[in-house]
């Protein structure tokens, strides 16, 4: 190894170490929930769309004169729900259906109002479920426009009209999920085979749909790629997927004034608005903070 390459690898080693250390530091913050007594701690999932909503909450509260601390991009539900339950986080944007399923795995609620009521009842002591927003972000079965037109498809039920064999593509864990092939067969009587594509409804899945390698995929309804690639989300008439509205989960640190602000955000956020926010993130690669700032300018809360 020449001196120059050695120096180069030392530099890259230092860079790796720095990244690792800063990653440690940000997880460390989680445990030390003693962040200024009256600051409201806002958290978010490690999902860009969720981070934008959390950022809107945070900036709206700041405009209302509250002190806010951000603990964004924490991780997946298994990790952060504990942090909410033990009081380290005061405010978190959630989704009604998936959170209900986390707290009550065998829930039978499917429609939006039933899910919301059940979720309110399931919330542990010390946590409140604030008003749900009209904005939804949920799993849906999508097909290409061309495929939908060929068989005249609008709902999942219509898949019975398809005469060719159907293949569903999605993350491998979907094969055994209640809304996977088994759910399709049990609820709708539609038989599909399964192909794993591990990018969570990302570009590879869209490509497979367009190539005809798969005919069906599960993609989030608020994903801009549905509109961009002219995909059709089939309507779930029999409630295979739980309704999944954006809903804030709050601790006692959220007083009446703060709750009013957050309720106003939820009321102003529409399904189309959420897709537009996601598009700004995906297409323009704008940071969550500036997307949130722009949204609050366009949607004055008072």
Partner 1 sequence: MELLLQAFSWLLTPESWTQQGGALQRLFEHLGVTIGVVALSAGIALPLGVMIGHTRRWTTAVALLAGAARAIPTLGLLTLLGLALGIGLGAPVLALLVLAAPPLLAGAYAGVQAVDPEAVDGARSVGMSEAEIIRSVELPLALPVIVGGIRSATLQVVATATLAAYTSDTGLGRYIFSGLKSRDYPELIAGSLLVIALALLLDGSFALLMKSRSRAPRSDRQTTTIPLERNPS
Interface residues with partner 1 (CB under 8 A)?
78, 169, 171-173, 175-177, 195-199, 203-204, 207-208, 211, 213-214
- In the bound state with partner 1, the residue whose beta carbon lies nearer, of 97 and 170, is 170
166 phi and psi angles, rounded to 5 deg: -105, 135
* CB atoms inside a 10 Å sphere around CB 1: 8
Give the pairing type, strands 216-220 and 139-144: antiparallel
- In the bound state with partner 1, the residue whose beta carbon lies nearer, of 31 and 213, is 213
- In the bound state with partner 1, the residue whose beta carbon lies nearer, of 148 and 209, is 209
Closest separation in Å from C-beta 204 to partner 1: 5
- In the bound state with partner 1, the residue whose beta carbon lies nearer, of 113 and 213, is 213
Closest separation in Å from C-beta 203 to partner 1: 6
Any residues with CB less than 8 A from the CB of 168 and at least 6 apart, and which?
141, 174, 180, 181, 184, 192, 193, 194, 195, 214, 215, 216, 217, 218
- Greatest alpha-carbon span in the chain: 69
Closest separation in Å from C-beta 90 to partner 1: 26
Closest separation in Å from C-beta 218 to partner 1: 13
142 phi and psi angles, rounded to 5 deg: -120, 150
- In the bound state with partner 1, the residue whose beta carbon lies nearer, of 55 and 139, is 139
Closest separation in Å from C-beta 172 to partner 1: 4
Return the H-helix or E-strand segment holding 43: strand 40-43
């Amino acid at each position: 190894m020449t001196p120059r390459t050695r120096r180069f690898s030392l530099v890259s080693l230092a860079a790796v170490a720095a990244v690792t250390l800063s990653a440690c530091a940000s997880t460390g913050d989680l445990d030390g929930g003693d962040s200024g007594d009256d600051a409201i701690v806002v958290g978010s999932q490690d999902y860009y769309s969720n981070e934008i909503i959390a950022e809107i909450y945070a900036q709206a509260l700041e405009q209302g004169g509250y002190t806010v601390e951000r603990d964004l991009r924490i991780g997946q539900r298994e990790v952060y729900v504990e942090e909410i339950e033990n009081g380290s986080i005061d405010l978190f944007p959630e989704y009604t259906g998936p959170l209900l399923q986390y707290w009550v795995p065998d829930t039978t609620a499917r429609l939006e109002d039933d899910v919301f009521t059940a979720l309110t009842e399931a919330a542990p002591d010390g946590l409140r479920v604030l008003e749900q927003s009209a904005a939804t972000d949920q799993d849906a079965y999508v097909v290409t426009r061309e495929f939908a037109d060929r068989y005249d498809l609008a709902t999942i039920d219509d898949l019975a009209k398809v005469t060719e064999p159907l293949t569903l593509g999605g993350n491998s864990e979907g094969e055994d999920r209640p809304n996977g092939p088994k759910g399709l067969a049990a609820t709708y009587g539609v038989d599909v085979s399964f192909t794993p594509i591990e990018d969570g409804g990302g570009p590879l899945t869209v490509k497979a749909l367009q190539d005809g390698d798969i005919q069906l995929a599960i993609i989030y309804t608020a994903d801009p790629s549905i509109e961009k690639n002219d995909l059709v989300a089939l309507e779930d008439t029999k409630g295979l997927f739980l309704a999944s509205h954006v809903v804030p989960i709050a601790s006692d640190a959220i007083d009446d004034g703060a709750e009013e602000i957050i309720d106003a955000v939820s009321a102003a956020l529409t399904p189309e608005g959420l897709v537009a926010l996601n598009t700004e993130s995906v297409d323009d690669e704008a940071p969550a903070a500036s997307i949130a700032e722009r949204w609050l300018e366009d949607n004055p809360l008072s």
